[in-house]
Amino acid sequence: MELATVIFYLIAAVTVGSAAMVAFSRNIIHSAFSLLGTFAGVAAIYVFLGADFVAAVQVLIYVGGILVLILFAVMLTHRITDVRITNRAVGRIPALAVIGVFLFLLVQTIRETPWQKAKEILYSPTTAKIGDLFLGNYLLPFELASLVLLAALIGAVVISRKELKE
Q: Which of residues 5-24 bind other proteins (CB under 8 A)?
A: 5, 8, 12, 15-16, 19-20, 22-23
Q: Is 133 in the site for other proteins (CB under 8 A)?
A: yes
Query: For residues 166 and 160, what is the distance between their CA atoms, to the nearest angstrom?
Result: 18
Size of the site for other proteins (CB under 8 A): 103
Instruction: Name the packing angle between helices 127-135 and 139-160 (round to 10°).
Output: 80
Q: Which of residues 24-43 bind other proteins (CB under 8 A)?
A: 28, 31-32, 35, 38-39, 42
* Distant-in-sequence, close-in-space partners of 123: CB < 8 Å, separation ≥ 6: 50
Contact call for residue 125 and other proteins (CB under 8 A): no
Q: Using the rule CB under 8 A, which residue among 3, 80, 83, 90 binds other proteins?
A: 90
Residues 49-88 that bind other proteins (CB under 8 A): 49-51, 53-54, 57-58, 61-62, 65-66, 69-70, 72-74, 76-77, 86-88
Q: What is the dihedral of CA 87, 91, 97, 99, to 10 degrees?
A: -50
Indicate the SS3 state at residue 118: coil
